[in-house]
Structure 1
Amino acid sequence: MLRTLYDWTLSLAARKSAEWWLAFIAFVESSVFLVPADVLYLPMALSRPDRAYRYALVATAASVLGGIAGWFIGFYAFETIARPVLEFYGKLDAFDALKLSSGTGFILLMLVTSGLSHLPPIKVVTILAGVIGFPLGWFILSAIVARGARFLFLAWLLRSYGEPIRHFIEKRLGLIAGAGAAAVILLYILVRYVF
């Protein structure tokens, strides 16, 4: 199923309405959809490098709005909407484990790491933030910074290096983003428990 969703999302890049699809995918990825918007963003930005930053801004805005929708789902409609979605994707246990260890600082950290590297999946964090009542203003600010940094960094890479960087991004960006997320987590632990 995941491969079918991935292929379908990738096929949207060739359409005239690709920019609208990018906004839609970025929006739903942040609250209910499994495939990241990067799958659509990368081929679009490669085919039109002159629009890479524009696409990054579209993806960022839509992703933040989708995250706000996820927050509202978690805050107002967890049982009716969020629980079935999390069960469908097999993420309910991970969600419950995160909920037990969540405080404001931990949620902020997860918003940054999921925004930068999809660890944990952004939809889980946005819903969790709503469930625990994480302040909406801080939520929006952190989503703008994390998601904006990710898409704008990809735009810069694609504008600077073009097609050769695509294979690097597809194969190694997850590792680099994961290492960056691990560094942020380590910094959080040091600040919180050591200093």
Structure 2
Amino acid sequence: MKIFSRLYRRVMMWAVHRHAPVYLSMTSFVESIFWPVPVDVMLAPMALARPERAWRYAALATLFSVLGAAFGYLLGYALWEPVVQPFITTMGYEGKMDIARQWFDQWGIWVIFIASFTPIPYKVFTVTAGLLQMAFLPFLLISLVGRGLRFFLVSGMMVWGGVRMERKLIQYIDILGWLCLAAVVVAYLLLRH
């Protein structure tokens, strides 16, 4: 079934849409607070479709992601009980919040860098940083460095790989898509409690 190749073609059409930078900015902002879809899903095809704008897209993603992180921090800091805690309970994220607190105890500010650069859910750590009243300026600076490294790396890979990488991606997209889906299902089954 060629589901992923059809989806890929559609995403590439969206990537060149005239409002794509606005959508990227909005996605970057909300992903740092609650949105489950990583920014890379939108950034990579945009950088691949328009490599001459890749660095601008990475800068937009970084800026709006850090602004979203600041908003998430403020939610955790000022609106934990009336807003955030009920949302966490509804989404079943209590365990993730406990893990985030443990990681903050163990690694301190470096957990922000780890969460901002890796696929770990950054949003959990932005809100937890506010809840734990972490120093705001270091939080912002570490977020800026981590998110910037991640998004500029993604854009750089798309520029570097260019047309060759796109041809290979199109050739194997369906296989890769099904493998990723299988990996997500296996991870879910292994990690659920």
TM range (shorter): 0.7 to 0.9
C-alpha contact 2:16 2:50 (8 A) present in aligned 1: no
Question: What is the correspondence of 1:3-22 to structure 2 with a 5 Å cutoff?
Answer: 10=11, 12-22=14-24
Residues 91 and 115 (structure 1), Cα distance of their counterparts in 2 relative to 1, 3 Å cut: same
CA distance in 2, matches of 1:38, 1:88: 26
CA distance in 2, matches of 1:12, 1:95: 34
1:68 aligns with 2:66: no
C-alpha contact 1:32 1:123 (8 A) present in aligned 2: yes
Report the structure number with the largest CA radius of gyration. Answer: 2
TM-score (normalizing by structure 1): 0.74
Q: In the TM superposition, what whole-angstrom CA distance separates every residue of 1:155-185 from its partner, at most 9, and x where no partner exists?
A: 2111111144464xx96xxxxxxxxxxxxxx
Question: What is the correspondence of 1:35-50 to structure 2 with a 5 Å cutoff?
Answer: 35-50=37-52
1:110 aligns with 2:111: yes
Paired residue for 2:58? Answer: 56
SS at match of 2:36: coil
Q: In the TM superposition, what whole-angstrom CA distance separates every residue of 1:65-99 from its partner, at most 9, and x where no partner exists?
A: 00000000000011222223323432222202332
Unaligned runs of 5+ in 2: 1-6, 177-193
C-alpha contact 2:76 2:84 (8 A) present in aligned 1: yes
Residues 53 and 101 (structure 1), Cα distance of their counterparts in 2 relative to 1, 3 Å cut: closer
C-alpha contact 1:12 1:21 (8 A) present in aligned 2: no
Q: In the TM superposition, what whole-angstrom CA distance separates every residue of 1:74-127 from its partner, at most 9, and x where no partner exists?
A: 000112222233234322222023324533x724222111111122x1000000
TM-score (normalizing by structure 2): 0.75
C-alpha contact 2:32 2:122 (8 A) present in aligned 1: yes
SS at match of 1:161: helix
CA distance in 1, matches of 2:86, 2:79: 11
Unaligned runs of 5+ in 1: 1-6, 172-195
Q: In the TM superposition, what whole-angstrom CA distance separates every residue of 1:140-168 from its partner, at most 9, and x where no partner exists?
A: 0000000000011112111111144464x
Question: What is the correspondence of 1:1-195 to structure 2 with a 5 Å cutoff?
Answer: 10=11, 12-100=14-102, 102-103=104-105, 106-119=107-120, 121-165=121-165, 167=169
Higher relative CO (Cα under 8 Å, sequence separation at least 6) belongs to 2
SS at match of 1:102: helix
CA distance in 2, matches of 1:162, 1:131: 42
Percent pairwise identity: 30
